[in-house]
Structures are given as C-alpha cells and as structure tokens.
Amino acid sequence: MSSLLVKSPTTATTAPPTPSPTLAEHVREGLRKTFKTLSSMYFYDDEGSRLFQEIMALPEYYPTRTEYGLLLEHAAAICDALRPATGEPFYLLELGAGDGLKTKILLRHLLDTGAHFTYVPVDISTAALDGLSATLQAELPGLAVEPVVADYADALTLMASRPGRKAVLFLGSNIGNFLPNERQAFLRRLRQPLTSDDRLLIGFDLQKDPRRIRAAYDDTQGITAEFNLNLLRRLNRELAADFDLASWQHYTDYDPLTGAVRSFLVSTKAQTVHLAAISETVEFAAWEMIHTENSYKFTRSLIDALAADAGFTMQGFFTDAQDFFSDVILMPRA
C-alpha cells in the first residue's frame, strides 16, 4: 500500500486560498502517516453541522433521542447538582453547543426555578451559534447568552477567566471521539481550571448490542456517508485540493472488545490528490483508507476510572431505562 507524501510545486495560476494554520498542519501531518488520518474536529463546517442535524433525526441514530429523554426525566436532579446551593449567579458553559436541542431542557428548568446564570455556548461553527442564539432569543427571551466561537482549547482558557461557579456541559458523548490517551489528557486539562465548587456534566454512550451501535454510524439513507465525505469537500474548498468524491466511499466498523466505532474514507482506485494551498501531493492505493473518526462506547467501571484518574469524583450517574446512555456529573476533587 502506497503511503508516501511528497511535496510538489503549485501549478495554479491564481493564488490558492490561505488555509487555517491548524487545518493545514493537521491535514499535512495526518496524510503523511503510514495509516492516513484526518481529524474529526473538521467535520463541523457549516455544511457538516447541517448534515449532523439530519443524522440526529435518523431512526438508527439512537444517542440523541436517548439522551434527550434522559435529560427530560432527570432534569430536576441534574440542575440541582449543577447550580450552587446558595443561589449565587453562575456560568453554564457548554463545549460544542451545536443547536442546543438537549441543552434547552436544562435551560428551561433552570429559568423556571429562578436560577441566576449566564449560558455560554461554545462551538467552532458560526452558523450553528447564530442559529442557536436566534432560537434562544425567540424561545427563552429571559435567558442571558454569551455565545463564543472557539475550539475546546480556547474554551478552556475562557473558563479560567470566569468568576463564580462554572457548570460545564459536554453532552452527546463527544468524549467518545477521543483516543484513550487523548481522552485522559483532555479530562485532565478540563480539570485544571476548575475548582472544587465547579461541576462537569458529561455524556457517555454505553456499550450495548454491537449491531445496534454499528447501524447508528452507517444509516440506510446514506446521510452519515455524506457527512464523512463532506470532509473532503472542505479540503477541496479550503486547501484547494482535488479530491474526486466519486472515487471515495464511507466505511465504518465496531469492535466490542475495545468499544471503538471507527469511520473511514476508502479510496476505490489508485489515485493522486493535490492540495495546492499547502503544496502537497498524496498518492493513494486502491482501497487505501483514511481514518476520520473514533466513537468509543463505555461501561460504568471505565467511567469511574476515567473520572478518578483526571481528578474528579462522580456525583451523579443518570441513565435511560435501557441503559443505552448516561449523563454523569463530576465534581473536581479538592
């Protein structure tokens, strides 16, 4: 399998777009690996965010509706754990806010029960935050909102500057997209700016029937495939690449032993791809893969171990009737 990446001169007569240094760096690094990778953090441009909204409505994709029902059932107990018992104002900061569908359950309950707080949604998609802000203004006019366009690292810096309690939301099992070592590092970094008075609500997709899990990431309508392929469209647009999408396919598998769902883009023929904006040429063999995403599934014992290693104590473990999903409240240890 060919996997070498070599530089080639740009032949375009017009200047290619200037890419984000982070995007350019990550793509160059990922496509130079023996087993090529692209980071799932770049799924969520405006089109990717739109496609993910469609995915969440698919019959196969259980995580969103399951967590939604879980939050409806346990909203009172979860909000009581997030807000200060003294009634003091606090910040509700959400990493990867998206459209806020599930978060609105908590926002409504907090407002209805007289909580004094500011909601700080954080997302890398401007369109997603604009849409969320407009929706919240219409649906919850009394809510104080400070939207922030940022990645998780910038959000962590923001958190450190906020006075009072910080109740941090990381819903949707986004933690499952990290590799195990990255997951631990992320949780430890998340712990650093928090005090023992702060709280973290984090979603975990639990291990279950392997066939149900795999179907959630390879739907019959092909929306998940379009979502994965959109990553190549983004590289074509932002890095002046020439990926021929007709020569790529979506593929996913699930390993019950490790709890890992893995998504790939598969080259259906030997081909050469140019990325003019970063002066790179990549050779792909027929059926060579680009690994684009991990989505790990968890057990309660693993969640306990993750929390303890990162410096948290589990304060609450909420799940649905089928034990498909869990929202866990973690308290930083003093």
Residue 82 belongs to domain with CATH number: 3.40.50.150
- CB of 90 within 8 A of CB of 116? yes
Same domain for 200 and 257?
Answer: no
Same domain for 257 and 110?
Answer: no
Residue 44 resides in a domain: no
Residue 215 resides in a domain: no
Q: What are phi and psi of 45, to 5 degrees?
A: -75, -175
Residue 145 resides in a domain: yes
Same domain for 290 and 301?
Answer: no
Same domain for 85 and 134?
Answer: yes
Residue 180 resides in a domain: yes
Same domain for 290 and 305?
Answer: no
Residue 70 resides in a domain: yes
Residue 231 resides in a domain: no
Same domain for 275 and 316?
Answer: no
Same domain for 290 and 302?
Answer: no
Same domain for 155 and 262?
Answer: no
Residue 128 resides in a domain: yes
Same domain for 61 and 15?
Answer: no
Q: Over its length of 334 residues, how does the chain's per-residue pLDDT go in tens digits?
A: 322 222 222 222 233 445 556 899 999 999 999 999 999 989 988 899 899 989 989 999 999 999 999 999 999 999 999 999 999 999 999 998 877 889 999 999 999 999 999 999 988 778 878 888 899 999 999 999 998 888 777 777 777 778 889 999 999 998 999 999 999 999 998 898 899 999 999 999 999 999 999 999 999 999 999 999 999 999 999 999 999 999 999 999 999 999 999 999 999 999 999 999 999 999 999 999 999 999 999 999 999 999 999 999 999 999 999 999 999 999 999 8
Same domain for 151 and 25?
Answer: no
Among 236, 201, 322, residue whose Cα is nearest residue 38: 236
User: What is the DSSP-derived secondary structure letter of residue 245?
Assistant: G
Give the chain's domain count: 2
**Which tokens belong to 39?**
């980071």
Among 232, 123, 128, 227, residue whose Cα is nearest residue 171: 123
Same domain for 195 and 326?
Answer: yes
What is the number of alpha carbons within 13 Å of residue 255 lying toward its C-beta?
A: 8
Residue identified by tokens 């309950």 is: 109
Same domain for 184 and 62?
Answer: yes
State the residue range of the domain holding 157. Answer: 55-208+297-332
Cα 324 to Cα 8: distance, rounded to the nearest angstrom: 49
